[in-house]
Amino acid sequence: MKNEFKPRTDLAVEAKEMFVEKNPEKEHELDGIIIREFQEDDVKLTRVEIDEEGSKRVGKSPGEYITLESQKLRELQSNFLNQISTMMAKELSRLIQKHQIPADARCLIVGLGNEYITPDALGPRTMNKTYVNAHLFKLHPESVDEGFRPIAAFTPGVMGMTGIETSDMIFGVTKQSEPDFIIVVDALAARSINRVNATIQMSDTGIHPGSGVGNNRKEVSEATLNVPVFSIGIPTVVDAVTITSDTIDYMLKHFGREISEQDRASKALTPAGMSFGKRKQLKQEDLPDEDTRKKFMGVIGALGEEEKRQLIQEVLHPIGHNLMVTPKEVDEVIEELSKVIANGLNQGLHASINPKNAKDFL
């Protein structure tokens, strides 16, 4: 059976949003998809579980998808970074236990991406910062304390530099080193501005490069490797289509909000638009009705999300301006976010690493 919808996104949350948008009438029919949301301080945690049926609907592999979202991640303040690392570690630990992987099972961490293109170097940089000890278990087992499991790690590089498909590199090293489970770390492309450098996604479904293209042998998953494959990623790049499309949405919501606030303002004494120092947030319910959208943005305003993106793509692509971009602070961002993931991996994988001693293992 064919997928009903092919997503262009790495994020399950977005895939679901896209599905609902295309099929608004089915919003309550998403039987195969369970979504739970939690808010802890400044971080929104979302767990999406997709079963076989849900998988067919939204075109994502069955399994669990977890996102930790926070605009604060962009500020790169060390206290907050430590805090979100620990939250990531808890979710990772839970995911590992869910798969009944024992505490001494051997893990192979794979740092995907091109080390020489900074926004794509999240995987390799994470690998360099993660605590690696598999060789100690083998060569100096007496030096290993309680509460640690054997961790190996490698960076397969990218095909343009190695001449070898990334999946083949992973297959080869996995067969030789025989880990009990695998974690792949990668920089992702975001499908919305507000997720760039602001979201950590984890899943237990492996990675499916060029998914939808029908090329299963490049899949890096339990199906091809016979051991559980987890993935961890952060969106670090975004294209001009997404920036424009999102901004048009924000403009429509901005108008919608203004209209509804004017309505209320005429009925009350509270001045419109008072925000009391908190950063403003535009929400889905701010989106005005179609007539208003048409008034402000013409036919564009009336288009659905995917139609709008497709139209922008058709305009920008032929003139060569659908740039894939990254925030200019990319050097510091990748340095700090790779530390966040490495820290989260260390705490999530070893019982004896915790927030107190975490920095000794970075």
Please list every residue from 302 through 361 that binds its own copies, using CB under 8 A.
311-312, 314-316, 318-321, 323-332, 360
Order of strands across the sheet with 63-69? 33-40, 43-50, 63-69, 199-203, 229-239, 181-189, 107-111, 151-154
Cβ nearer to its own copies, comparing 20 with 243: 243
Answer yes or no whether residue 110 interacts with its own copies by CB under 8 A.
no
Question: Of these, 5, 272, 300, 306, which contacts its own copies (CB under 8 A)?
Answer: 300
Closest CA to 340 of 88, 108, 117, 111: 88
Answer yes or no whether residue 71 interacts with its own copies by CB under 8 A.
yes
Q: Do residues 81 and 89 touch, judged by C-beta distance below 8 A?
A: no
In whole angstroms, give the CA distance from residue 188 to residue 113.
10
Closest CA to 235 of 88, 73, 85: 73
Answer yes or no whether residue 260 interacts with its own copies by CB under 8 A.
no
CB of 109 to its own copies, least distance (A): 9
Task: Choose one: 2-10, 96-104, 216-224, 296-304; the region binding its own copies (CB under 8 A).
Answer: 296-304
Answer yes or no whether residue 237 interacts with its own copies by CB under 8 A.
yes
In whole angstroms, give the CA distance from residue 132 to residue 179.
13
Integer CA distances (angstroms), 264 to 228, 257, 267, 271, 281, in order: 54, 11, 5, 9, 18
CB of 255 to its own copies, least distance (A): 9
CA dihedral 107, 184, 202, 178 (to 10 degrees): -30
Task: Choose one: 14-22, 31-39, 200-208, 288-296; the region binding its own copies (CB under 8 A).
Answer: 288-296
Residues between 199 and 218 that touch its own copies (CB under 8 A): none
CB of 44 to its own copies, least distance (A): 15
Answer yes or no whether residue 299 interacts with its own copies by CB under 8 A.
yes
Answer yes or no whether residue 240 interacts with its own copies by CB under 8 A.
yes
CB of 144 to its own copies, least distance (A): 12
Q: Do residues 227 and 181 touch, judged by C-beta distance below 8 A?
A: yes
Locate the DSSP E strands across 156-309.
Answer: 181-189, 199-203, 229-239
Question: Of these, 275, 276, 284, 356, which contacts its own copies (CB under 8 A)?
Answer: 275
Residues between 116 and 175 that touch its own copies (CB under 8 A): 116-120, 127-128, 132-136, 150-157, 159-165, 168-169, 171-175
In whole angstroms, give the CA distance from residue 357 to residue 362.
10
Residues between 32 and 61 that touch its own copies (CB under 8 A): none
Cβ nearer to its own copies, comparing 23 with 71: 71
Cβ nearer to its own copies, comparing 117 with 287: 117
Cβ nearer to its own copies, comparing 7 with 179: 179
Q: Do residues 159 and 114 touch, judged by C-beta distance below 8 A?
A: no
